[in-house]
Amino acid sequence: MKKHIIVAGVPRSGKSTISQKIANNWGYQHISMDSIIAGIERSFPETGINSDADTDLWENIQYISSKMALFICAMIESGEYNECGYGMVIDIFQLLPQHYIQHIDPSVCEIYYFGTSEVTPEERYELLKKYDTPKDYTYYKSEEENKENCASIVKISKDLKEQCKIYNLPYYDTSYNREQVFKSIFGF
């Protein structure tokens, strides 16, 4: 494994789960970019970063991705982990392949993309209901919101899968066999 790992992809695809396992099993520092993005949104609105912006979802993801790629690059280049025997495992939704390729050094940071592109929005919703717990933000959303969100997640997953093909980056579908997918990649 490289010094740093990024686990990227759509919400509820297992990014945080596998990032925590990587941290626990291999000693990486787990950093959830969702928390950092929420802090930036509240503290620095002048950045224009707003996950809930009333704009086209894909355009918003592209904008946030372009900013967060630079942010992650600065974190890696800060040297904070150079003397440590461990690095960072970063989980993030809004980091697109094009921005990873443009801004992040693959010699020190590898990336894995996770999505749910192999299901219909209806199947995605049924999976969501099956695994939803009070720890998940979707648990508190209405049925209508979750159905709409599932349709968006499937579409974004398909777009993400295509971008990964273009940039020759690893993409894994975690719709049904999430644990098997993780085991095949990371061994646990």
Question: pLDDT tens digit string along 102-114?
Answer: 999 999 999 999 9
Is the residue at 160 inside a domain? no
Mean pLDDT across the chain: 94
CATH code (residue 100): 3.40.50
- By mean pLDDT, which of 75-89, 112-126, 165-179 is the weakest? 75-89
Whole-prediction pTM: 0.93
Nearest 5°: phi and psi at 82? -65, -40
Q: Residue 150 has which token pair?
A: 């599932």
Is the residue at 146 inside a domain? no
Is the residue at 161 inside a domain? no
Is the residue at 124 inside a domain? no
**Number of domains composing the chain:** 1
Per-residue H/E/C for 59-84: HHHHHHHHHHHHHHHHHHHCCCCCCC
pLDDT value for 86: 87
Is the residue at 112 inside a domain? yes
Is the residue at 132 inside a domain? no
Is the residue at 95 inside a domain? yes
**pLDDT tens, residue by residue, 126-182:** 988 888 888 888 888 999 999 999 999 999 999 999 999 999 999 999 998 999 999
Q: Give the structural domain span for 112.
A: 4-116+169-186
Is the residue at 150 inside a domain? no
